[in-house]
Structure 1
Amino acid sequence: MGDFFTTGQALDPETAQFAENQRGAGSTTGIAQDRSVVNQPQLTHFSAETVIINTYGQGPDRTDNTNSSSPQNKANIKRCQAELKSYIQNSTKKLYQGTKDYGSFTPLKEIYTELYITKGGSREVNNEHEVIQLECRRNLFEEKKIQLNDILNAFSNEDDPPKRVLTTGIAGIGKSVAVQKFLLDWASGEANQTTQFIFPFKFRDLNLIKDERWSLMTLIVNYFEEVKDFSDSDYCNSSVLFIFDGLDESKLPLDFENNEMCRSVTKTTTVDVLLTNLISGKLLHKASIWITGRPAAAAKIPPECIDRVTEVRGFNDEQKQQYFQRNVCNNDTAQKILDHLMSKPLRSLYMMCHIPVFCWITATALENLLDKTDKDELPKTVTEMYTHFLVIQTKLNNQKDYQEVETDKDVIMKLGKLAFEQLQKSNIIFYKKDLESCKIQAAVYSGVCTQIIRKEYGVLYKQEVYSFIHLSVQEFLAALYVLETFLNCGENLLSSQTRVKVASETGEVFLLLLLHMQAVNTALASDGLWDLFLRFLLGLSQDSNQKLLQKVFGFKERHPQSNKATINFIHEKIRRLSNTDKTINLFQCLNELGDQSLLEQVQKYLRSGDVGKILPAHWSALAFLLLISNEDVDVFDLKKYNRSEEVLERLLPVLKASRVALLSDCNLTDRCCKMLVWSLTLAFSCSFALNELDLSFNCLKDKGVNLLYPWLGNPKCRLVILSLNHSRMTAVGCGSLTIALSGSSAIKELSLSFNSLMDEGAIRISDLLRNPQCRLKILSLNDSRMTAVGCGSLTIALSGSSALKELSLSFNYLMDEGAIRISDLLRNPQCRLKILSGSSALKELDLSNNRLMDEGAILLSDWLRKTQCKLKIL
């Protein structure tokens, strides 16, 4: 989807005439020996009084260049801009869904559904499949939304717009379509008109010329001949944006550390050197850069080269509804599709509709099935949906140009072989030689191929570049190929001993179990690459999907079989698995196999209140159930389930997806801190946002608090409230905690009461409060064994510019000296404290010259009535 700049577009007559009238103003062009286009300026009436040659450093900004402000040059720039806008508008106005050869295309502005884009996406590699991450993400759309056309603009709290922006998002989430819409709005004059020129490139296109040498000027002109009359100074003096789409598809090394420096737009070098210098700001340092890619590829760009990271989150619930209403033939059918997706208890299909491409696959399959299929027979699992999608895509293509002996089944198996081989190499793009290695002739590329594989042409040399319409389609076909190869030939492509003999029906069942076991183990050992493949492989083993494949494509018929042995094997894996995140995909696999026994058991125990019978596998089932259902998991309270570390470990995926984690008084030790840090650090790469954590009344000790340090000290940690009351912490753990919070911590409320912090701990906290980056507003230090010494340190810290507004010091040994220190603090005009809960031993309090008002007087009266109050002088 979103293919732009694959073929040249003719200029409209008006623009062409304007270009012809303006051509030649101010300069002529020639071709250098290195094929580069160069300006040959015509200098007239030139008088050089002073010439300054700067040969060191970056040099001055060239905004005062006389030539750039001349009427002739302004006209030339205006003409080039008009031609470029016309070209981009023509190239982006249509959105292709499916493939360009046989897919449907619609005016982008009519069909475009707004995407949910947020600030601060992931730059870290995650060991889960992207789809699994999406299914486990519950607090998706509560962060501040960014409008697409504001992605390169300054926010309200920023003085300057970012120069270099990285936008991440999983495969099929809509990054390329977002780029296409951004370009169309600019070219149509609807947005970002302060940007004079936008030059969009695709990494998959740049791969084709990675071994050639170019200057930046010649590279741009070869892609966009509309600016062939540009001089090098025009690039420097114009507002320019470069867009590089599809970082995850890049075959360039992007060697930022070792590449040579390139400062000139006319210097000839490799494409890799040009890109690293552009992105790092050495080449055309005034230009803006926008890069898009999947999260795993973000690490290719050094963090210091990026000013802003954003994330395309896909569709929220409202946008899903808009999509189906705009893309389905009528609103009644669209509503039926939505009703079907939302009616399923696990709602896994509906959750996958966060991905726009999956919405299209779903709409394609269900729109064709609703009028022909009984409601109970509509697809209920992801595998069933993709199987019907494959059938419908094949039927849509009436003209078959296969070789005489070739059937749909033959072509699908060839596509599956291609999909499997490329998946093994982690390739999502491939070339003519890859097709031919699977006996798919590019010259007769047609039939079902055109429905499943997208073909594009390199801009410069028209070389074919291929990809499946979505990564999940590639994974589905790969799984189909592996399964059918086993069923037809007895060959296990996942095993080193690939050839096996199927002697009987019983033997076939046993060997199919071996294939399933091999696939499960492969997925568990990988970093998520094989997770969805596994789900498809098991789902395709179901008799219902096998019968459909036999009926439509003529796949080999087999006896109805039970997958009970495979189900039992997965149950055992779930029971033994320590990596709780991996269990989520295994439960999805059970769903594909039609098994909900673990889920039903845990629901039965929860309804009866007999949680004592819940086994470890059941707790994992509960985690899956909470994540995939419509249950609210915003607040995770472990006490609702079972107060133990073993249960917490099984429910960590739920905690990761929550805003508030209540773990107080749950028999936790320092071991839980290690688990939490591991899990919550992984959550950084999924943009999860735990805001509140309560670990009070647990035996964490200093060791446990020290283990929290890496997570609390990470600038991506967005925790606001932290409670560690009665956690058996001393000044040692307190010191580690204050160091972690002394950076860019977001924590505003900290509770450390009922710990033996002593004066040393109070002094450590005082150092934190003096830190100008400290955001603490509420601090509780009740019963911390603090004396007047520690109290004095705190009052000195609060006499400065501390933001603290509420302080609790009850049940400490402050005595009269401490009370006097507090009184002095309250007299200080810089003190921002609004609420003070002090020691019960306080005997004298001076609140003179304060604006207490009636409300303050009432609060004082209430306090004076308390029996614990020992105040004698007020």
Structure 2
Amino acid sequence: MSPNSHCFPTGQTLLTVQQDIKAKLKHKYQHISEGIGHHGNQSLLKDIYTELYITEGGSGGLNNEHEVRQIEMASKKQTTQETPIKCNDIFKPKEQHCHMWDLKPGILLGKSMSEPLGQEISSWGDSECEVGESDTNGQEKPIRTVLTKGIAGIGKTVSVQKVILDWAEGKANQDVHFMFPLPFRDLNLKKDQYSLMQLLSHYFPELKEIDSIEDGETKTVFIFDGLDECRLRLDFKNNEKCCDVTKPTSVDVLLTNLIEGNLLPSALVWITSRPVAANQIPPECVDQVTEVRGFNDPQKEEFFRKKIPDQNLANKIIKHMKTSRSLHIMCHMPVFCWISATVLEIMLKEAEKDEVPKTLTQMYSHFVLIQIIVKNKKYNKATETNPKELSQSDKEMILKLAKLAFQQLQKGNLIFYEEDLRECGLDVTEASVYSALCTEIFKEESGLDQEKVYSFVHLSIQEFLAAVHALESCLDKKENVFPPKAVTKGEDNYEKTRFKVKSDKLRSDKMFNLHRRAVVQALKSENGHLDLFLRFLLGLSLESNQNLLRGLLTQTGSTTQTNEKTVERTVEYLSFNIKYESSPERIINLFHCLNELGANSLVEDMQTSLRSGTLSETRLEPDQCSALAYLLLMSEEVLEEFDLKTYNTSEEGYQRLLPVVKTCKRALLDRCKLTHKSCETLTSALQTPNSPLRELDLSYNDLGDRGVELLCVGLTSPLCNIQTLVLAGCKITYESSCETLASALQTPNCPLRELDLSDNDLGDRGVELLCVGLTSPLCNIQTLVLDRCDLTYRSCETLTSALRTPNSPLRELDLSYNDLEDRGVELLCVGLTSPLCNIQTLV
């Protein structure tokens, strides 16, 4: 539809509408809740907010690891310099980001914050550069759509709140006429058809004074917060195209067309999401991906020192957190620092040393109980301080919330509506009252339309309560929340070797069977969404943890001996799965589960051997290799070099050690009998955010063309940082590998600088295909090694064209041990004498 068919606002009308919307947004976003209940302390956001740390986040692709596993990698000591982006600069090309950024740690602190911030981020409009403008050469593509990723509780929503507030208060982005925050949790409820203008007018009635904002001069920003909470079907491939802001259609069609740029192509779009949901937006629809990062080690300590007034106590808490690597890693997440501070501030004052939480299960058990006590003291004037004694009403409500947590975790939902509550037998009024009393566990919020939206204060609390539900169902009703399904390879072997011998005893052990089925489901999960739930569930099987929650859980009267036998069977079952599970990444979580059960003998043995330097003298079994991989991945240190050959193990053992490459700078995997199957794990490692890996040597392994094809998936990822790749003697041919590699070399911003393909049967046809990539202006190869590749003088003719490519980065070329003859050298010299040639070394 032509813009002329709409009635556009006059300057005065637009200004009036803008002022009204600014006032509305200021009222909504200027406060942030602290303390307990809707009537708790309300702090001005500007008083406690400090800039978050946002970096370029690479691709919006799928990550198949639980967020806690991603935290483990993020907690490694940084070995590369990153460019931070202030959230008000988020729509600027990276070349324009301010270099005067102060990297001093920033923390949002409150008396009991549900989502404390402490990251460092960014403002479009206060600098000399306009939003999305080109650089001085006019080459930079304007940025229209930005996707900001960050794990749950890292501060995405609060950063959005701050940007909106700055605009509403006239502090930033005053070239923007309108900002429209449209959280997915609100949009989920819209089942009717709307035009874009009708939808905006529904949330912002002030816009009814304006027929359209499609004049090309009205600068508009749409903010879609919480893509991971979206329940709409965003079908970018099949949704109808819509270019008319006055045409009614379904909300999901409006969203896909707005994001694609069919609707209001001049509008800016900012989307926030947890990593697990980021792939819902096609990469071609996103101009820039950024990532909100968590606490580094100094920030962790600063948080505790600011949160705890007693500095001696704060130092004790910091010291305690450092004694447990798993707890210290979790502190990368600000919300976990808040949970830990809440628990340890009380525990270190009152508890015996042995009672202080050392595992995740213990920490979350104490946290839930402490919140109930605080709630009862504040509202019921209770004097009871024993966390192990709960009132019947508290018990019933927590167990109902636990059921909600489990059912919604199974569905992948972090936010819930009234219909979800009713499905779990929760009365809406009852839930609202409880959320008002105990907002540090469960919270109720009002959307733009004042509809009620419910959630747990953090995903990890939902996962913990889900585990409580699974356990209580087994203890109270003797029910297994997981139906019997197809077994894993580990379970199948377990059945064959153990189950037939002890079938009656094992079948009667309902707790063990719950554990068994939970492990099966967690191992089958494509994105690891049950990993932390499984840690909690197994941790809760310990008698000490069940005793801590005795006021909440049904007491079965089982003996200590019976409980210990169940734990023993579970440890044995986990060990079997560690032996037979094919995914090295899933195996790592099984070691975390053993840690929650206090069964660390295998890891401790590996730790002893690692410290003594005797590992190279020992023949390692596959499960020992998994334990070693777990140790190296959990370490905060980045390895300068990881040489797989130094370990004496089987081919399967080598396979289990492969995840370690993501935590080293130089990986030497040559002559380790790896196959194309190994490349699946390596491809995942190449796509690890902020990986220090720069050099990968895979020479003399039977990778074949299939292996190279898989590796190139990783090489073309925006997250890949590999600069040197050695594929000598990997049995690759020209038919597939050279064309795939040539395509990889033409990937924008490809970091690869050195490529060694020696001792492969590439032939002249292979070089011809490879040169398609070498002559691309996007290629960055400086060193190319092609010795013993069965080349003739015909290859020299092809290479000559590559040598004469304008601005070619190629500096070193190795063609030794090929039958080039004089004719080949003559052809090469044509290229070498070209003024465009930059070759410095020729072998």
Match of 2:815?
809
**What is the rounded CA distance, in whole Å, between the counterparts of 2:92 and 2:408 in structure 1?**
39
Match of 2:602 among 574, 594, 598: 598
In the TM superposition, what is the alpha-carbon distance from 1:190 to its structure 2 partner?
3.4
* Paired residue secondary structure (1:314): coil
| 8 A Cα contact 1:409 1:554, kept in partner | no
* Paired residue secondary structure (1:779): strand
CA 699–440 in structure 1, closer or farther in 2 if over 3 Å, else same: closer
1:154 counterpart = 2:93? yes
Where does 1:299-314 land on structure 2 (aligned, <5 Å)? 299-314=279-294
| 8 A Cα contact 1:475 1:532, kept in partner | yes
In the TM superposition, what is the alpha-carbon distance from 1:602 to its structure 2 partner?
1.6
Match of 1:674 among 664, 672, 677: 677
**What is the rounded CA distance, in whole Å, between the counterparts of 2:271 and 2:760 in structure 1?**
49
**What is the rounded CA distance, in whole Å, between the counterparts of 2:360 and 2:519 in structure 1?**
18
Where does 1:434-473 land on structure 2 (aligned, <5 Å)? 434-445=420-431, 446-447=433-434, 450-460=439-449, 462-473=450-461
Where does 1:38-117 land on structure 2 (aligned, <5 Å)? 73-96=10-33, 101=38, 105-117=42-54
Deviations 1:268-321 (CA, angstroms, capped at 9, x unpaired): 443333323322222222111111122332333333332222222333334333
**What is the rounded CA distance, in whole Å, between the counterparts of 2:442 and 2:43 in structure 1?**
19
Match of 2:98?
none
**What is the rounded CA distance, in whole Å, between the counterparts of 2:722 and 2:423 in structure 1?**
52
**What is the rounded CA distance, in whole Å, between the counterparts of 2:268 and 2:196 in structure 1?**
15
**What is the rounded CA distance, in whole Å, between the counterparts of 1:764 and 1:256 in structure 2?**
34
In the TM superposition, what is the alpha-carbon distance from 1:392 to its structure 2 partner?
0.9
Match of 2:155?
174
In the TM superposition, what is the alpha-carbon distance from 1:473 to its structure 2 partner?
1.1
| 8 A Cα contact 1:140 1:313, kept in partner | no
**What is the rounded CA distance, in whole Å, between the counterparts of 1:60 and 1:690 in structure 2?**
55
CA 765–410 in structure 1, closer or farther in 2 if over 3 Å, else same: closer
In structure 2, list runs of 5 or more residues that go unmatched: 96-134, 383-389, 486-504
CA 629–737 in structure 1, closer or farther in 2 if over 3 Å, else same: same
Match of 2:262?
282
**What is the rounded CA distance, in whole Å, between the counterparts of 2:466 and 2:298 in structure 1?**
33
CA 494–814 in structure 1, closer or farther in 2 if over 3 Å, else same: closer
CA 813–585 in structure 1, closer or farther in 2 if over 3 Å, else same: same
**Matching residue's letter, 1:79:** T
**Matching residue's letter, 1:831:** C
In the TM superposition, what is the alpha-carbon distance from 1:518 to its structure 2 partner?
1.9
Match of 1:774?
779
In the TM superposition, what is the alpha-carbon distance from 1:588 to its structure 2 partner?
0.6
In the TM superposition, what is the alpha-carbon distance from 1:152 to its structure 2 partner?
1.6
Match of 1:647 among 640, 653, 677: 653
Instruction: Point out the more displaced range, 760-769 or 599-608.
Output: 760-769
Match of 2:394?
408
**What is the rounded CA distance, in whole Å, between the counterparts of 2:828 and 2:408 in structure 1?**
70
Q: Which has the larger radius of gyration?
A: 1
Match of 1:829?
835
Match of 1:580 among 557, 580, 584: 584
Match of 2:533?
533
**Matching residue's letter, 1:613:** R
**What is the rounded CA distance, in whole Å, between the counterparts of 1:115 and 1:550 in structure 2?**
40
**What is the rounded CA distance, in whole Å, between the counterparts of 1:102 and 1:368 in structure 2?**
24
In the TM superposition, what is the alpha-carbon distance from 1:643 to its structure 2 partner?
6.8
**What is the rounded CA distance, in whole Å, between the counterparts of 2:93 and 2:641 in structure 1?**
34
**What is the rounded CA distance, in whole Å, between the counterparts of 2:244 and 2:759 in structure 1?**
64
**Matching residue's letter, 2:746:** G
* Paired residue secondary structure (1:272): helix
Deviations 1:820-869 (CA, angstroms, capped at 9, x unpaired): 44544443211112x2233xxxxxxxxxxxxxxxxxxxxxxxxxxxxxxx
In the TM superposition, what is the alpha-carbon distance from 1:620 to its structure 2 partner?
0.4
| 8 A Cα contact 1:173 1:354, kept in partner | no
CA 660–100 in structure 1, closer or farther in 2 if over 3 Å, else same: farther
1:200 counterpart = 2:181? yes
Where does 1:377-416 land on structure 2 (aligned, <5 Å)? 377-398=355-376, 399-400=379-380, 406-416=392-402
* Paired residue secondary structure (2:655): helix
Residue correspondences, number: 759
CA 300–196 in structure 1, closer or farther in 2 if over 3 Å, else same: same
**What is the rounded CA distance, in whole Å, between the counterparts of 1:629 and 1:78 in structure 2?**
56
Match of 1:373?
351
**What is the rounded CA distance, in whole Å, between the counterparts of 2:187 and 2:275 in structure 1?**
20
CA 706–588 in structure 1, closer or farther in 2 if over 3 Å, else same: closer
**What is the rounded CA distance, in whole Å, between the counterparts of 1:409 and 1:815 in structure 2?**
86
Where does 1:463-862 land on structure 2 (aligned, <5 Å)? 463-495=451-483, 510-527=509-526, 528-550=528-550, 558-560=558-560, 561-562=563-564, 563-606=567-610, 607=612, 609-611=614-616, 612-633=618-639, 635-642=641-648, 645-664=651-670, 666-669=671-674, 671=675, 673-681=676-684, 684=687, 688=691, 690-700=693-703, 704-705=707-708, 708-712=711-715, 717-729=720-732, 731-732=734-735, 735-736=738-739, 738-744=741-747, 745-801=750-806, 802-833=808-839, 835-838=840-843
**Matching residue's letter, 2:340:** T
* Paired residue secondary structure (1:214): coil
In the TM superposition, what is the alpha-carbon distance from 1:564 to its structure 2 partner?
1.7
* Paired residue secondary structure (2:152): coil
**Matching residue's letter, 1:338:** I
**Matching residue's letter, 1:424:** Q
Match of 2:327 among 328, 332, 349: 349
* Paired residue secondary structure (1:397): helix
Deviations 1:540-566 (CA, angstroms, capped at 9, x unpaired): 111221121126888666533312221
Instruction: Point out the more displaced range, 568-577 or 310-319.
Output: 310-319
CA 644–789 in structure 1, closer or farther in 2 if over 3 Å, else same: farther
**What is the rounded CA distance, in whole Å, between the counterparts of 1:829 and 1:542 in structure 2?**
74
CA 215–710 in structure 1, closer or farther in 2 if over 3 Å, else same: closer
1:242 counterpart = 2:228? no
Deviations 1:331-369 (CA, angstroms, capped at 9, x unpaired): 54444332221222xx11121222222222222222222
1:186 counterpart = 2:159? no
Identity %: 43
| 8 A Cα contact 2:361 2:536, kept in partner | yes
**What is the rounded CA distance, in whole Å, between the counterparts of 1:778 and 1:613 in structure 2?**
38
**What is the rounded CA distance, in whole Å, between the counterparts of 2:658 and 2:43 in structure 1?**
44
In the TM superposition, what is the alpha-carbon distance from 1:617 to its structure 2 partner?
0.7
Instruction: Point out the more displaced range, 295-304 or 197-206.
Output: 295-304
CA 339–421 in structure 1, closer or farther in 2 if over 3 Å, else same: same
Q: What is the Cα-based RMSD across aligned positions, in Å? A: 3.4
| 8 A Cα contact 1:99 1:454, kept in partner | no
In structure 1, list runs of 5 or more residues that go unmatched: 1-54, 498-505, 839-874
CA 552–492 in structure 1, closer or farther in 2 if over 3 Å, else same: closer
**What is the rounded CA distance, in whole Å, between the counterparts of 2:47 and 2:641 in structure 1?**
40
| 8 A Cα contact 1:598 1:618, kept in partner | yes
TM-score by length of 2: 0.82
Match of 2:413?
427
CA 122–369 in structure 1, closer or farther in 2 if over 3 Å, else same: farther
| 8 A Cα contact 2:36 2:375, kept in partner | no
CA 102–526 in structure 1, closer or farther in 2 if over 3 Å, else same: farther
**Matching residue's letter, 1:469:** V
**What is the rounded CA distance, in whole Å, between the counterparts of 2:540 and 2:798 in structure 1?**
68
1:294 counterpart = 2:274? yes
**Matching residue's letter, 1:111:** I
CA 474–806 in structure 1, closer or farther in 2 if over 3 Å, else same: same
